[in-house]
Amino acid sequence: MFRSAIIPAFAMLATGGAGALVAAPAEAREHGRIVRAQGPYGGGYVAGRHVSRQPGSTQVTRGAATYGGRGYGQTRSTQWGDGAVTNSVDRRYANGTGMSRDSSLVRNGDGSVSVQRDRTGPAGNSQSGWSTIYRTDDGYTRTRSGATSSGRSYSATRDVSVNGDSVTVDRNAATGSGRAVSSTRTYSRRD
């Protein structure tokens, strides 16, 4: 049976890798804790979590490490304001690898909304994607594109038009290799 203890920590951060826990200066609206567990045969783990909330931002840092040397450290940061929201996640493992994710949502001056997402995996492979949606006089248009570190890419547009009792959807897409497809469909609107 594991013997565990939960220790409230007002300022604990998992930094620098697999579950390294260090104290940080106390700030407003912060809280955290550490959990330690010890097994009957010498096994066990240490885990910690710290949350910091400020006007317009939140940061959550956590980490865990086993007595066998495995573990990770992760930081998630979110910021918002001026019509934009950004989020980033960075995770590092005890074996030296890591991964990260970043995303942003922005309301543009013309009323459109743009989203961007980026991801990097433990092997160094990455993917990126972008999209924008905006209103038109009779509907909306959405454009999107993406690319990978292996050289693949695509782009696509979807235009939706509402005309009386029908809806027309135009789609166009193309890949980085030169393949392209397009379609137009009209649907009847039901009352």
pTM of the model: 0.73
List residues bridging with 114 in a β-sheet: 106, 132
Pull the structure tokens for residue 152: 């693949």
Report the alpha-carbon distance of residue 130 to residue 79 in Å, rounded: 19
Contact assessment for residue 64 and residue 71, using Cβ atoms and an 8 Å cutoff: yes
Q: Average the pLDDT over 31-49 and give the result.
A: 91
pLDDT in tens, 43-102: 899 999 999 999 999 999 999 999 889 999 999 999 999 999 999 999 999 999 999 999
User: What percent of the chain is modeled with pLDDT above 90?
Assistant: 76
Give the start-to-end residue ranges of the domains of the chain.
1-79, 108-191
pLDDT band at 18 (very low <50, low <70, confident <90, very high): very low
- In which element (H, E) is residue 40 found? none
Residue count (the chain): 191
User: Which of residues 103 and 11 earns the better pLDDT score?
Assistant: 103
| pLDDT of 17 above 50 | no
Average pLDDT, the chain: 86
pLDDT for residue 164: 85
The per-type count for the chain, helices as H runs and strands as E runs, is 0, 15
Give the pLDDT score at 42.
Answer: 82
